[in-house]
Structure 1
Amino acid sequence: MTTRARDHGLVPAPGRTGPHNAITDVPGVLVGHTTILRPPAIHSGVTAIVPEGIGPDSTVAAGLHVGNGYGKLIGSTQLAELGVLESPIVLTSTLSAFRAADALVTWMLAQPAHSAVVSFNPFVGECNDGFLSDGRSRPVGEADVLAAIGEAAGGPVAEGSVGAGTGTGALGYKAGIGTASRLVDLPGGEVTLGVLVQANFGGTLRVGGVTAGHAELGLADPNAPEAGSCMIIAATDAPLDARQLTRLARRLVFGLGRTGADYSHGSGDYGVAFSTASGAAPSDQGLSPLFAAALDAVEESVLNSLVAARTTVGFQGRTLPGIPVDRLRALVLR
């Protein structure tokens, strides 16, 4: 059974979580993965985050923050302009992003409810998994994207080397997909915030302020790339408007700093936040607890992505080590 960061006492701000401690704790949010493994050359895949009923005639309010724009975020300009999301969010590898966007259009055209639609904004993010996977082969096809969307479900979310996280690494270790949630008290009542990360960025790991690089954990330097990117998706059932969701999306990127991210030149760091709720937006003055929860959930999501992943030997023999959890726990507790 895969363990998670809080199972080892590695979550600095545990907080209150939903039943699965995942983005799917937000009602109406589903997640699906397609994992593509043809070792040693191919370690890639697709992760889809699907708000139930999403489509061009059934949008949700959304916001976007670009921490560093070194990446391919298809559909971002229209989302930023109109403040709405009208497609599932698909995450994949860099050179497969364009095929994934075309597959999303195929998905939309096949929906009976959308038979009259002539314009559609597919939303696709990516991370470069080229250290462990042959990105030039563009292994992701339409069927892989449609499978991830079609199999999206609520409940527990697989983490680590799965879906779009199959070939990614962060902070010098094998990482991948991670998720977490928080229950937050706002003036209007309790809401849920869920976060999912596709972790693939450089820096030196910190847990609760403790530096946990390769030297501290007794590992050889794997010469992993410092660049890579991170896609961070947040969902909430708080009825935030697009402007407030943009403010929330900023905190997602800020949260990476707690884990030791260095926001390097080649790291495309993006935060996307959407709301499944309708109704009057809350006052800005009451949003601070939600912002704090976003920082905590991003931190835990990254840690979950690391704890769930395992050492991987990939393309051209390149290797990313899985984090030695027992050593990490001993270091942090000491």
Structure 2
Amino acid sequence: MSRKKIRELGLNVGQLPTGANNCITDVKGVRVGHVTLHYPLTEDKNEWACTGVTAILPHGGNIFREKVVATSYVFNGFGKTTGLVQVNELGQLESPIMLTNTFGVPAVTQGTLEYLLEQSPEIGETTGTVNIVVGECNDSYLNSIRLMPVKPEHAKEAIQKASTEKAEEGAVGAGTGMVCFGYKGGIGCSSRIVQIDGAEESYTVGCLVLSNFGKTEELETYNRFIQTKTAEPEITDSQTDGSIIIVLATDAPLNERQLQRMAKRCGIGLGRTGSHMSHGSGDIVIAFSTAQTILHFSEDHKESFIQLREDNPVMNFLFTAAAEATEEAILNSLSCANTTTGRKGRVVKELPYQQLKSWN
């Protein structure tokens, strides 16, 4: 059954307006693709593939040859990501941002590498190597993670499927087996429009989350939108604290330091939902700007960039946009996800709409 985003249920987060689709793809050029794996792996249906891959591309061109400004910020580092060291060192993104489960990282890295090598024959031959960014969350409650159902071809397929259309949300792609606050979590998106005072120009901020964190009692503290007592019991035998990967995109012209300042504000949106970033939770933001590209090949020894002034009021609105879009994306990952069955007959139920204060 089709589930709804929270705005379709009468709930609005924050003050800033959303983009046309309330999605990360509202940032012009950004693409999202999913591959969903949900099927039994054994005849007795005790083991399941309940996982997938999600690809986020900053533009539709050759990302290695036309890089974008990027950064990451780690709130709590209980994660197994790849590529973030170089992203923070150089302030550049040169691959799609790939999301999957913890044990799927090697296969997704390989598949993405194969895709990029096919696209750019010069990599590792006449020029340097390529830095591949993969983020993960642990979906082992529903997914038979030890059987490693994610393969390199699934990464390639997710990249090839990526489009600028409104992204599918909920229990799809990398979010297929994720659990959030004891309910079904997964992929959620939101966006915000920031208007420049005294000008017709505006900027878009888009957010995509892979939500897999939190206990039910933490959600119960979220009194703004959630009833004070949940209707469904918490999952009690999950083995980990969970994680969240937050991908933040904007068309505002920012340098990597300014982007990181925005990325830090995603933690405000995360905290508003009830998270306290548990010991075993990887809480990580990957942020990029599509405003300008950085050519891999150039004979010039200088390059020029435009960036926003730090003391302009627009920076505060961008910070607000990051916080609001993150909060709403997390809520959408819950409200869009369907009840899901996985390994050992386990079932994670969808968030009942009756728990939302505006629902009647």
Report the TM-score, using the length of structure 1 for normalisation: 0.93
Which of 24, 44, 48 aligns to 2:51? It is: 44
Structural mapping, 1:91-110, within 5 Å: 91-110=99-118
CA distance in 1, matches of 2:171, 2:49: 12
Partner of 1:133: 143
1:284 is paired with a residue whose SS is: coil
CA distance in 1, matches of 2:132, 2:181: 30
Aligned residues: CA RMSD: 1.9
The structure 1 segments of at least 4 consecutive aligned residues displaced by more than 4 Å after TM superposition are 112-115, 210-213
Structural mapping, 1:1-334, within 5 Å: 1-13=2-14, 15-39=16-40, 41-52=48-59, 53-112=61-120, 114=122, 116-186=126-196, 189-203=201-215, 204-205=218-219, 206-207=221-222, 209-212=224-227, 216-223=229-236, 225=238, 227-278=241-292, 279-286=305-312, 287-325=315-353, 327-329=354-356, 331=357
CA distance in 1, matches of 2:29, 2:210: 21
2:276 is paired with a residue whose SS is: coil
Q: Bigger shift: 62-71 or 219-228?
A: 219-228
CA contact (8 A) 1:32 1:48 kept: yes
Q: Deviations over 1:36-62 (max 9, x none)?
A: 111452110000001222433211001
Q: Deviations over 1:147-204 (max 9, x none)?
A: 0001100121100000000000111110110001100124573100000000001142
Going from structure 1 to structure 2, the CA distance change for 1:12 and 1:277 (only over 3 Å counts) comes to closer
CA contact (8 A) 1:133 1:167 kept: yes
Going from structure 1 to structure 2, the CA distance change for 1:248 and 1:114 (only over 3 Å counts) comes to farther
Larger radius of gyration: 2
CA distance in 1, matches of 2:25, 2:273: 23
CA contact (8 A) 1:174 1:323 kept: yes
Q: Deviations over 1:261-298 (max 9, x none)?
A: 12101110001110000241111223110111111101
CA contact (8 A) 2:9 2:358 kept: no
The AA in structure 2 aligned to 1:162 is: V
CA contact (8 A) 1:224 1:320 kept: no
Aligned residue pair count: 330
Q: For residue 220 of structure 1, report the CA deviation from its aligned partner.
A: 2.3
CA contact (8 A) 1:12 1:208 kept: no
Going from structure 1 to structure 2, the CA distance change for 1:2 and 1:211 (only over 3 Å counts) comes to closer
Q: For residue 247 of structure 1, report the CA deviation from its aligned partner.
A: 0.9
Q: Deviations over 1:56-104 (max 9, x none)?
A: 3211001110000001110010001111100000000000101111111
Unaligned runs of 5+ in 2: 293-304
The AA in structure 2 aligned to 1:312 is: T
Q: For residue 248 of structure 1, report the CA deviation from its aligned partner.
A: 1.0
Unaligned runs of 5+ in 1: none
CA distance in 1, matches of 2:13, 2:120: 47
CA distance in 2, matches of 1:154, 1:103: 22
The AA in structure 2 aligned to 1:135 is: I
Going from structure 1 to structure 2, the CA distance change for 1:36 and 1:333 (only over 3 Å counts) comes to closer
Q: For residue 2 of structure 1, report the CA deviation from its aligned partner.
A: 3.4
CA distance in 1, matches of 2:163, 2:122: 22
Going from structure 1 to structure 2, the CA distance change for 1:262 and 1:147 (only over 3 Å counts) comes to same
The AA in structure 1 aligned to 2:327 is: E
CA distance in 2, matches of 1:184, 1:208: 27
Q: For residue 113 of structure 1, report the CA deviation from its aligned partner.
A: 6.5
CA contact (8 A) 1:181 1:194 kept: yes
